[in-house]
């Protein structure tokens, strides 16, 4: 089992992310979005990315900043448009970004399936809608289902409240959102945390993401203020 790496800079944490990667980015709007890691990814320079997230960015920070920098080829999300999705809206209307809309429950389950090693699954959501066009369907017990495939990431960028020095993670309320399934669905998981504690300080019953899924940890509390996204 590889040891979790702890980093003193955000740029070091995202080192090695390649052009063309599929990047799972946590967050429900701005809640739980790993803004510091995203800013570092912009600086790092990886491009032609496929990004999987709940929505397509808010305002001009975080994921929206990554889109504005022209690093994303395709967006896979549940809510591409909202009142402050200025950047994505402009890119999509100009034909500069691809979009795959996935119902929110399907998005979570497709990533969970990737982490659980499930090859595919049938789900009733989207049956009879344009989202199901071209997909296999089947009637099971009198109900119609659509065949969905797992979403696996090359990298996951997530935010957690606390990590211990082994890399076990706990989250704060709704900031947890997609982070646990993204951690299991990616080849490499990079997490920014608000603080790091000694092994044994976290209640084992409260650990949501075990260290086995955590590859890189960035301790935000140890960064100079200039490196930490507000």
The confidence score (pLDDT) of residue 21 equals: 98
Q: What is the pLDDT of residues 51-84, one digit of tens each?
A: 999 999 999 999 999 999 999 999 999 999 888 8
Of residues 41 and 8, more confidence is placed in 41
The confidence score (pLDDT) of residue 230 equals: 45
Q: What are phi and psi of 83, to 5 degrees?
A: -65, -25
Distance CA 214, CA 191 (A): 7
Distance CA 219, CA 200 (A): 18
DSSP tally for the chain: helices H, then strands E:
6, 12
């Amino acid at each position: 089992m590889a040891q979790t790496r702890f980093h003193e800079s955000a740029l070091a944490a995202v080192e090695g992310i390649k052009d063309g990667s599929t990047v799972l980015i946590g967050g429900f709007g701005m809640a739980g979005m790993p803004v510091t890691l995203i800013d570092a990814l912009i600086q790092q320079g990886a491009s032609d990315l496929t990004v999987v997230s709940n929505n397509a960015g808010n305002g001009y920070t975080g994921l929206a900043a990554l889109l504005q920098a022209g690093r994303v080829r395709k967006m896979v999300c549940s809510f591409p448009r909202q009142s402050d999705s200025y950047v994505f809206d402009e890119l999509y209307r100009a034909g500069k970004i691809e979009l795959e809309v996935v119902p929110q429950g399907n998005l979570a389950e497709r990533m969970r399936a990737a982490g659980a090693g499930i090859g595919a699954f049938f789900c009733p959501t989207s049956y009879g809608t344009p989202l199901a066009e071209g997909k296999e369907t089947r009637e099971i017990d009198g109900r119609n289902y659509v065949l969905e495939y797992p979403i696996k990431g090359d990298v996951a960028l997530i935010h957690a409240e606390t990590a211990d020095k082994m890399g076990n993670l706990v989250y704060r309320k709704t900031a947890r959102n997609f982070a646990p399934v993204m951690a299991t669905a990616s080849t490499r998981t990079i997490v920014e945390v608000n603080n790091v504690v000694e092994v044994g300080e976290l209640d084992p019953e409260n650990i949501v993401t075990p260290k086995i899924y955590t590859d890189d940890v960035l301790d935000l509390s140890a960064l100079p203020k200039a490196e930490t996204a507000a």
